Structure 1
Amino acid sequence: MSVLTTDLRPHLALVTGSSGGIGKATCLALASMGCSIAVHYHSSTSAAEELVKELRTKGVRAEAFKADLTKYDEILNNDVTTHQVRTLHAEVVKSLGNPTILFNNAGLTLKSGIKSITEISIDEFEHTWRANCGSAFLMTQLCLPEMEKAGWGRVIFCSSVAGFNGGVVGPHYASSKSALHGLVHWLASAYAKSGVTVNGVAPALIQDTTMLPGNNEELAKKIPIGRLGYPIEVAETVVWMVKTGYVTNKVVGVDGGFFVQ
């Protein structure tokens, strides 16, 4: 009997922020192992729908779910209901079942290249924290009990090299990402005997994403190996964390040697 989980046909992955970049690459990588996919997106409807079509060609169940993860609870504006974290989870469970794999990938930078703490208001700070950490905490809180009941689960957070060294975006972003590291460590320890592993990936300067704070050529000079990373390289790290139950309580940098851990 293999100790690796390589057949994901019994499993459902909820990937937040999955209409492009790292999220899309991860959806495709997991689907290639038979995993059903709940595709979350915020505004890129056409990209999400195209991804769902591509995933279904792999023979897996896949659906797209729109939600604004900067807020926790459903709101009603001008008779239009906007889905948030709780309603996203409820819709996924209703349509596809309970996720056994959760990749908390969605996030934002808001502002980049901040040189002074006075450039970020407290409202901007809290908005960034809520999107990058608070919503990931809440989604994990909603998903983890069913994973524990099943005796198997994978929770993975997308952090950033900024969580290790402060990065180049600003204090709002760095602190929201480093907060995920503490969350990983507590959760992994608390659920270690339940069959649920908890880890994080910390990318640096990944091309084909919306998170790059500058010109690709100039940014590549900051990376020891001399190039930016690709979304698939982060996705493959996530897949490794899904496959093995002996990796937990880790935040792994995917950064071309940018940060020596």
Structure 2
Amino acid sequence: MSNSQRPLEGKLALITGCTGGIGKATAQSLATKGASIAVHYNAAEETAQSLVKELQALGVTAVSFKADLSSYQAVRELHQAVKASMGDPDILFCNAGILGQTIGPKGNIQDISVDHFEDTWRTNTGVHFLLTQLSLPAMESKKWGRIIFCSSVAAGTGGVIGPHYASSKSAMHGLVHWLAARYASEGITANAVAPGLITNTGMFPKGTLELQAKLPVGRFGQPEEIASLVELLATNAYMTNKILVADGGMTPSAF
């Protein structure tokens, strides 16, 4: 296969939450473009090992790493393990996250404790801030890097989970804008994808017909459709400082 068909040959992608629907589809997509994959998982060891074998069959290096990314120390240990085993990540797809307690769009803010709010922010945003911080020096030295966050349409709409989840995801957008402006001259891009109602995932395994009817495209999204956006952001050196919303037409967006 030519270099034009494998533009990520020689690059290492670290994907958090790699055994979920979007993470797994993204690993497969980036591997077909030549990237080696550091497969992060928390509990799904069997899925992780199966995915590693599948990726290796595509002709790339793949290794699995277990980490409970609800703590900052676990992030440090994950980064150290990946670096020791595979080298420094060139592509960081910050995909792992939690929904937390669901109170719905008409819920009571009093139902979300400040401790639960902080737990959600740490798991969804704080640990990925730290992972980015740890990964950036090597990207700077190579003058090449891709930082990609998996946000949510809830970041722009408030969503249906609660204020803790929506705000943890919108915080990613602020990180993207600062990182993109600061590191663009270093050959490093920073972007986010913001999915909405993607089925066949741990967070949204199956939707209702009533919910589906609200989508202009008339169906829920698939993990592969988000993976294709991550692939675009990983292979495009000119696109940075962007939030790519994929929600079946639920929300309008422009500059």
- TM-score normalised per structure 2: 0.94
**Alignment map for 1:177-216 (pairs within 5 Å):** 177-212=169-204, 215-216=207-208
| Residue in structure 2 matched with residue 76 of structure 1 by the alignment | none
The whole-number CA distance in structure 2 between the counterparts of 1:238 and 1:159 is 12
Q: Name which of 111, 117, 122 aligns with 2:109.
A: 117
Aligned in 2, Cα 1:67/1:44: closer, same or farther, shift over 3 Å?
Answer: same
Q: In structure 2, what is the equivalent of residue 106 of structure 1?
A: 96
**What are the superposed Cα offsets for residues 92-148 of structure 1, whole Å, 9 maximum, x if unpaired?**
000000000000000010122431111111111111101110011000000011001
**2:85 counterpart of 1:95:** yes
1:7 aligns with 2:7: yes
Mapped to 1, the partners of 2:30 and 2:15 lie a distance apart of 10
1:254 maps to 2:252: no
Residue of structure 1 equivalent to 2:164: 172
SS of match in other structure, 2:60: coil
In structure 1, how many angstroms separate the alpha carbons of the residues matched to 2:129 and 2:244?
Answer: 19
Displacement of 1:243 in angstroms is 1.1
Q: How far did residue 259 of structure 1 move? A: 1.2
What RMSD over aligned residues (CA atoms) do the two structures have, in Å? 1.4
Query: Given that residues 112 and 213 in structure 1 are in contact (C-alpha distance below 8 angstroms), is that contact kept between their aligned partners in structure 2?
Result: no
Query: Partner residue of 1:43?
Result: 43
Q: TM-score, normalised by structure 1?
A: 0.92
Unpaired runs of at least 5, structure 2: none
Counterpart-to-counterpart distance in 2, 1:213 and 1:53: 24
Amino acid at match of 1:16: T
Q: 1:162 to 1:21 in 2, by over 3 A?
A: same
Q: Is the 8 A contact 2:5 2:33 kept in 1?
A: no
SS of 2:160's equivalent in the other structure is coil
Structure 1 runs, 4 residues or longer, greater than 4 Å off:
none
Q: Relative to structure 2, which stretch is displaced further, 4-13 or 40-49?
A: 4-13
For 2:175 and 2:5, how far apart are their aligned partners in 1? Answer: 24
